[in-house]
Structure 1
Amino acid sequence: MKAQQLRVSILQNAMQGKLTRQNTNDESVRLLIEEIKKEKNQLIETKYIKPEKALPPISEEEIPYEIPETWRWVRAQEVLDVRDGTHDTPKYVSEGIPLVTSKNLKNGKLVFDNIKYISEEDHNKIEQRSKVDNEDILFAMIGSIGNTVLVKKNRAFSIKNVALFKQYPSKSLYMPFIYYLLSYYEDEIRRKSSGGVQAFVSLTFLRNLIFPLPPVMEQKRIVIEIEKLFKKIDTYAVLEKEIEMLNKSFPYDMEKSILQYAMQGKLVKQGSNEEPVKQLLMKIKEEKARLTKDKVIKKEKVAPPITDLEIPFDIPKSWEWVRLSQVGYVVAGGTPKTGESSYWDENGMLWLTPRDMGQNKQVYISDSQRKISNMGLEKSSAQLIPKGSIVYSSRAPIGHINIVEEDYTTNQGCKSIVPMIYNKFLYYSLIFSTPEIIKRASGTTFKEISGYEFSLTVIALPPLEEQYRIVEKIEMLNKLTSKMENIINQN
């Protein structure tokens, strides 16, 4: 059960007389109600308060649940002086007396941020109608109905469109109990509120509100018990929030840790009889030289050697630090004229954009919103990239990444790497390297990583056989992480 649900449950039990034991030695509620009635009549005779309309008797249909025999159902106006603040809009001043409205009642407290001020003269006029004293209760009547506040008054203020629950001068009720009672009834009052765009409750509705009234001594015992339990729930709520944050971050943090272990050579054991990485790199270099000679790919710029500053951690002796350009070749994208219909074909070649990639949440991608024709490919800077290559969004934003399942093209917002090692290992390497790639991006309006800068990305390269073992272990652990996440979400 959530912390808020526990609070509601405690208030519900409290208002049904189930939170504390009843004591037959407590002063009778009937006597309490009679004393309040006599006091009201005296206040009316002395013109301290105005005569009020007779309240209708409480019918059986209005009583929502059973209460202890020592309690009584009452209407709010029977035992409280229920008023509201001014309905007028006084002239506001830069300095003066704060004018409290519904927006200043938040989480059981009065908030004086962004409040408007009125003159002392207007404040005195409003006080004649609705003077707020210490331990009075404020209740929002318009908009966010409720937000009950027990006033701890340390400064003067007036109220506007806010209900005011006051006890009579003899102070025969325990107002902290009334505060919790009204807090409990907030949801029901909201459900019964009027209004369309802006909900509201009338003063008549609040005066006729029925609620259970226990003896005063029991009111005090109930408040003590509520506050004791609420303190425990506050501790529980902090833990609940920490658990929620942990649950939200768990899959990401776990997958990040798995990748970090993988790229540091700590996820699988190294094999002693595998082809050395140096030999693999030599084969790749020879293959790239052949492709360059055959004009399949363009001659690349010579990459600078990797410096000590670019090496973030230690790797196994059988691994090598390499630049991206040493394990494949980078291909940029292009855009045919959008207004030329012959350049576009719904049955044509994939034309991937960062937007397509952002909408795809899988490792592989096999569709694009738009597709280009052979003519579009020929008449633009777009290039046909072989299937199995890795597409990487290089701007807006940097870091979407997919393996493409068929031959494709991209726009200028993507860079592709045609891999000459295991493409899935390179896919995970680029995910791991993305924070560092973003740091190297340039631009003012939006950040972008150029094709050359992308090709300089440094990755840790294991032997080819180990690349396959690493990917297998990553995907096995990611599946376990997903299962654990589902279990956490179900609970």
Structure 2
Amino acid sequence: MDTALFFEQFGYLARSPDGVQKLRKLILELAVRGKLVPQDPDDEPASELLKRIEAEKQRLYEVGEIQRPKTPPPIKEDEIPHRLPHGWAWERLGNILTFEYGKSLPAKARNDFGKVPVYGSNGVVGVHEEHLVAGRGIIIGRKGSAGAINVSLESFWATDVTYYVVPPNDLYFDYTVLILKSLSLEDLSKGIKPGLNRNEAYVLLVAIPPFAEQQRIVAKVDELMQLCDQLEEEQAQCDHLHERAAKSTLFHLTNASSKSEARQYWQYAEQYFPELFDRATTVEDLRATILQLAVQGRLVPQNPDDEPASELLKRIEEEKQRLYQAGEMKKPERLPPLKDDEKPYEIPQGWEWIRLGAVMKQMGAGSTPLGGRKVYVEDGIPFLRSQNVWNDGLYLDDVARISIKTHEKMGRTHVMQGDVLLNITGASIGRSCTVPSHLLEANVSQHVAILRLIDTRMAEYLHVCIISPIFQKTIMDVQVGVSREGLSMTRLRLFPFAVPPQAEQRRIVSKINELNQLCDQLEVEANHRRELSGRLLDSIIYHLFEPAAEI
């Protein structure tokens, strides 16, 4: 298929997933294949300039300016990847370019008042007053960012983690840069030995066009790359506006002045769900908003016939006293009453603000057995660590295990059905889940807290509260320790907790499950669109490079 398809579909290609990035690579590939600009039969063929390059190498060798050039192996027919336009020629990279070693220049030896750029493997690392290379050149990462290409348009210093290249006069400088970028030299550095070996690069095949066509190609590439920049900027603006629309809708949902206003915004959001929430970031924002509405009492309607939360809390208080008197729990701690300025938002009638510790039978961190990992066994009792606790449940694929004997010694860290687990240290602080009914026995590490409710029927709702944005913010605000990555049980007991009627708790959890399924569906559809768009782009690229007879 001819290249006209490429220009016809240019805008569509850019809008595909990672489209502009793929488009830039595609432009480069078309350029070095001779498919970007028309050929001119009056151009001097590449074979002539290659002769001059070879003659110049011999002259430089004879006058002692370079070492004797190594001759790469001749090109075999089965090495040629594709046909070239008339006037072009295949050549080994080492026959047209020399990768010269850079020279060490430690930071303490540099003159920071100089104006000569000093290049490391991935760009400028400082300045100096002297240059290693006079005039412009190409710097290639040898170690570190091996294969990275940088260009200096002035005299420069290339350090010892780089190669530098000064193209011969018969190669257009900017086209030489295109050649090197098209070779993906970084792939050569991914072997057993780190770094780029120039001898491996020298045997690579490169397509050389006539000098005049090299200039035309560079001009066209510059034009198309500028268009890519413009499309990238437009895409970023479009994405920004889309996210603003989604965030604005969600903001109005959570900040509506009344329930009726919140319902209006919710109806609007439902109407435009597929348009507003068509990517992972906005769907994640939607999930967070659903949780926020839930704990504010705005997700499901209140029922005046529901028993108020105050009655539930009375029964919990009575049960606490009974358990204490029966020796089944410690003496209940007297918690300070919640002040008005500690209540983060207004709650509906029938709800109650309390401190989290008021509904707990047990709150405490787990512990790690003596010996740590050395006491883990192949087949035993699950030992839950922070990496097993996720907001959507326990992940047990890599769960550690301990012996029954160790398990029995660690009675304080046993988990029970209906417990809520909460990560209290490290990068995963705030992640939470409930203990499922199928997990009959387990222990938790010191990085995980057990929250055991007096009334375990509240577990699912408590989990909703913990993973809601406002509870997560509270966790982040009260972390302790030098690295601020720890949550103390003392502070956690004092967290404000809005308790709805028990019947409403069930409705809230049910509604969240329903809406999470919708969010899952939105994510699946968004991923499907992304995958389909990517496949269409790959198909167009395939047709650009495959002969019509083979399609």
Select 2:362's aligned residue among 327, 330, 341.
330
- 2:36 alignment counterpart: 19
- 2:323 alignment counterpart: 291
Select 1:479's aligned residue among 517, 530, 548.
517
- Kept in 1: contact 2:116–2:156 (CA 8 A): no
Select 2:210's aligned residue among 192, 215, 225.
215
AA partner of residue 197 (structure 2): V
Select 1:390's aligned residue among 398, 420, 423.
420
- 1:146 alignment counterpart: 147
> How many Å separate the matches in 2 of 1:449 and 1:195?
45
Instruction: Identify, as 1 or 2, the structure richer in strand.
Output: 1
Instruction: Identify, as 1 or 2, the structure richer in helix.
Output: 2
- Kept in 1: contact 2:424–2:486 (CA 8 A): yes
Asked whether 1:176 is paired with 2:201, we answer: no
Cα gap change, 1:13 to 1:252, in 2 (>3 Å): same
Q: Specify the SS of the correspondent of 1:369.
A: strand
Q: Deviations over 1:65-113 (max 9, x none)?
A: 21111323345576x5636236x86899623589999x7242xxx4134
> How many Å separate the matches in 2 of 1:47 and 1:383?
79
> How many Å separate the matches in 2 of 1:182 and 1:212?
11
AA partner of residue 209 (structure 2): P
- 1:84 alignment counterpart: 100
- Kept in 1: contact 2:120–2:158 (CA 8 A): no
- Kept in 2: contact 1:351–1:411 (CA 8 A): no
Select 1:72's aligned residue among 80, 83, 89.
89
Q: Deviations over 1:33-85 (max 9, x none)?
A: 5666777788788887788677876553443321111323345576x563623
Q: Deviations over 1:267-287 (max 9, x none)?
A: 111112211223333333333
> How many Å separate the matches in 2 of 1:95 and 1:345?
57
Deviation, structure 1 residue 385: 7.1
AA partner of residue 289 (structure 2): S
Number of equivalences: 457
TM-score with structure 1 setting the length = 0.73
1:29-48 alignment, distance < 5 Å: 29=46, 32-33=49-50
Give 1 or 2 for the bigger CA radius of gyration. Answer: 1
1:128-147 alignment, distance < 5 Å: 131-134=133-136, 136-140=137-141, 144-147=145-148
Cα gap change, 1:449 to 1:300, in 2 (>3 Å): farther
- Kept in 2: contact 1:137–1:164 (CA 8 A): yes
Cα gap change, 1:365 to 1:205, in 2 (>3 Å): closer
1:42-441 alignment, distance < 5 Å: 58-75=75-92, 80=96, 82=98, 84-85=100-101, 94-95=109-110, 104-106=120-122, 110-113=123-126, 131-134=133-136, 136-140=137-141, 144-153=145-154, 155-157=155-157, 160=160, 162-168=162-168, 171-187=169-185, 190-191=187-188, 196-202=192-198, 206=202, 210-234=205-229, 239=235, 249-250=281-282, 252-332=284-364, 338=370, 355=385, 358-361=387-390, 362-363=392-393, 369-370=401-402, 376=408, 382=412, 387-395=417-425, 398-404=429-435, 405=437, 406=440, 414-420=449-455, 421-432=457-468, 433-441=471-479
- Kept in 1: contact 2:422–2:432 (CA 8 A): yes
> How many Å separate the matches in 2 of 1:26 and 1:346?
73
Q: Deviations over 1:184-211 (max 9, x none)?
A: 1234x955x89842444346963x6543
Identity rate, percent: 26
Cα gap change, 1:458 to 1:12, in 2 (>3 Å): same
- 1:459 alignment counterpart: 497
- Kept in 2: contact 1:173–1:216 (CA 8 A): yes
Q: Deviations over 1:298-335 (max 9, x none)?
A: 33232222112211112222322122244343344677
- 2:251 alignment counterpart: none
**Structure 2 gap segments, 5+ residues each:** 1-16, 244-277, 532-551
**Structure 1 gap segments, 5+ residues each:** none
> How many Å separate the matches in 2 of 1:481 and 1:458?
28
Cα gap change, 1:252 to 1:85, in 2 (>3 Å): same
Q: Specify the SS of the correspondent of 1:272.
A: coil
AA partner of residue 420 (structure 2): I
Deviation, structure 1 residue 12: 1.7
> How many Å separate the matches in 2 of 1:444 and 1:47?
64
Q: Specify the SS of the correspondent of 1:275.
A: coil
- Kept in 2: contact 1:327–1:419 (CA 8 A): yes
Deviation, structure 1 residue 424: 0.9
Deviation, structure 1 residue 178: 1.6
Deviation, structure 1 residue 408: 7.1
- Kept in 2: contact 1:99–1:158 (CA 8 A): no
Cα gap change, 1:94 to 1:449, in 2 (>3 Å): closer
- Computed over aligned residues only, the root mean square deviation of the Cα atoms, in angstroms, reads 4.7
